[in-house]
Amino acid sequence: MAVQKGKIGIHTENILPIIKKWLYSEREIFIRELISNSYDAIEKLKKISLNEEVYQSDKMDFKIEVQINKEKKTLHFIDNGIGMTKEEVEKYIAQIAFSGAKEFAEKYLKNEQSVDIIGHFGLGFYSVFMVANKVEIHSRSFLKDVEPVYWVSDGSDEYEISEGTRQDRGTEVILYLDQDKEEFLDKLTIQNYIRKYCDFLSVPILLDGIQVNYQKPLWSLHKPNSIQKEDYISFYKYLYPFDEDPLFYIHLNTDYPFRLQGILYFPKLKHEMDLNQNNIKIFCKHIFVTEEAQEIIPKFLTALKGVLDLPELPLNVSRSYIQQDPEVKKISAHIVKKVGDRLVEEIRNNRENYEKIWKDIAPFVKYGMLEDSKFYDNTKDALLFEAIHSDNLDQRVFYTLKEYQNKNQSKTQNKIYYATDLKTQAPAIRLLIQQGIDVLYLDKLIDSHFMSFLEIQERDFHFTRVDSELSEHSIDSTSQILDANQKTIKDKVEEIFRKALNNTKIIVRAETLKTDEIPAMILLPETYRRASELAVLYGEKDKFVISENHTLLLNLKNPLIQKLGRPDLITSTSEEIPTKKLEYAKQIYKLARISQALVSPEEMQQYAKDIFSFLEKNF
């Protein structure tokens, strides 16, 4: 075969600078493209060999080799697949790939639009010129009695093609690297990129003679019902070696109306903000594509980890392509439904284990419900609430909404009582649980938004924080009819505190509670409660000032309040309230606010000074 020269029909003198400009940020992509081509060549040969006679039929131990020659500054990609004839090299390399470059240039250069273009315009092979100043192809077809072929180009609009010298079936691509691309002569660098993009190809990939790919795509090796739990855990640890074991997993395997395989894991979140991380790896026929695929994976699912393999998704998928593809929305909806189904299945079939992991998955589930009402509808039966046990504040029980209502509705009507802080709200909590009313414990940043969401979705109940109002169940009904002396104490105590606080916006209210432990409590309006929790969510708790529109609840059963209301504590011949009683009232109010963490750092310092000063004067 004589040397033949050819010219690509491109209007620009050299497309190379253009390609480099657009693709520079991912120049290692050529490794994925060349190995993908080699893998395709091997898979094609496997199919052809079933029905046709192939050249070197005794050499069917398939493999892909990558070799580094630091001395010559070359990279070699070698396969023993189907190979190419001269006509095929001209068609697939010279015509398709380079015509794709022309199409790209004509369509995108004028408006300077940035897009993902490799592969999308047939430029997969041409990505080699992002790192090489010359590329050679040596190929020998599977057909017998066909000459080997040699092709060479420097990335300009010209190439040479002639008879080659390769004797073995398959193809070798040789890259002569640019001087500033010698990082790709580093063995560890190449190994990392091979594992990133091609780790799960079923053909061994050898780097300088040593296999470097894992080669075991668990999501497609076996049917889900034949895989053991230990296999799922082991695969997860391979993907995320520094993680704790996952909480549980979902194996996806769909053939209709679209093809989808994958394994999604529920990881143990270290922090609620981990909800926004991208952890799911998208593959196409075992080739890694991206971790940035919000159109395929809804935002609230990105906290999950694992792999999804979409065989019909283009390898070099662009975001604009995904947005326009009608199948993507169907795939996304299917994934969401499968996740919801898995949660419902777990709570129904393994309630004990589900309760153990609930605290870890609760932020994810709630976030998902806030983001997608269909996810809520599909998954609401798997929604649990942690409640404080009536016998032990440190012990927890778990309820679904229906279970809570069934147990408490006769006492609470449509109210669901909850606490956010076991220490500061302990008095109010005790008042309720002593009456057999369950108190939910909702201490996550997301809970304030989530409760408002639930009140819209389920209008037959209302969330009420334990310190936002005084439950009728907390008042001692046997002491509601006060004798003359008690009535005098009640009126006197309320008068003392109103004068001491000198603030008409603060409501002073004295009641006989069912416990004598609590001298005073601050009751906050529900609107303030919601606003304060939003302040915490946005990191502005310290800036949030307690509303003046709140209630100071005084407990007539408490000995301190009783003494303060009786005239024998501090005698006075005058009808005026003694100064010391007013001082006591001020300090009780401050301590009530401190005990419920309703003071700013500045107020805390001032309150502490005031209380120490008061004690010093009255010691």
Q: What are phi and psi of 96, to 5 degrees?
A: -70, -50
CA 208 to chain centre: 38
H or E element, residue 126: none
- Cα-Cα-Cα-Cα dihedral sign, residues 597, 601, 606, 609: positive
Q: How confident is the model at residue 118 (pLDDT cuts 50, 70, 90)?
A: very low
| Out of 180-194, 383-397, 425-439, 529-543, least confident range | 529-543
Query: Which two three-digit tokens encode residue 525?
Result: 């309006």
Tokens 């414990």, residue located: 441
pLDDT, tens only, 13-61 = 455 555 555 544 578 989 999 999 999 899 999 998 988 899 999 889 9
Q: How confident is the model at residue 186 (pLDDT cuts 50, 70, 90)?
A: very high
Cα 135 to Cα 155: distance, rounded to the nearest angstrom? 8
- Looking at residue 440, what is its pLDDT? 93
Instruction: Work out the number of other CB atoms within 10 angstroms of the CB of residue 560.
Output: 15
pLDDT averaged over every residue in the chain: 82
Side by side, the strands of the sheet bearing 210-211 are: 4-7, 158-163, 149-153, 132-140, 170-177, 74-79, 64-69, 205-207, 210-211
Cα 534 to Cα 546: distance, rounded to the nearest angstrom? 13
Beta partners for residue 415, in sequence order:
462
What's the mean pLDDT in 417-422? Answer: 86
Domains and CATH numbers, the chain: 4-211 (3.30.565.10), 218-350 (3.30.230.80), 477-512+550-619 (1.20.120)
Cα 585 to Cα 591: distance, rounded to the nearest angstrom? 10
Q: How confident is the model at residue 194 (pLDDT cuts 50, 70, 90)?
A: very high
pTM of the model: 0.75
- Looking at residue 158, what is its pLDDT? 82
SS3 384: coil
H or E element, residue 4: strand 4-7
Query: Which two three-digit tokens encode residue 222?
Result: 């076996």
38 contact partners, CB below 8 Å, separation of at least 6: 64, 77, 78, 79, 81, 171
- Most confident listed range (146-155, 420-429, 525-534): 146-155
Cα 220 to Cα 279: distance, rounded to the nearest angstrom? 20
Is the pLDDT score of 141 beyond 90? Answer: yes
Query: 427 preceded by cis ω (within 30°)?
Result: no
Query: Which two three-digit tokens encode residue 610?
Result: 């005031």
SS3 549: coil
Cα 510 to Cα 558: distance, rounded to the nearest angstrom? 11
Cα 38 to Cα 82: distance, rounded to the nearest angstrom? 9
Cα 442 to Cα 383: distance, rounded to the nearest angstrom? 13
pLDDT, tens only, 604-613 = 888 888 888 8
Is the pLDDT score of 240 beyond 60? Answer: yes
pLDDT, tens only, 309-342 = 988 776 555 555 555 667 778 888 899 999 999 9
Instruction: Work out the number of other CB atoms within 10 angstroms of the CB of residue 50.
Output: 6
Cβ pair 191, 35 in contact under 8 A:
no
| Out of 4-18, 88-102, 519-533, least confident range | 4-18
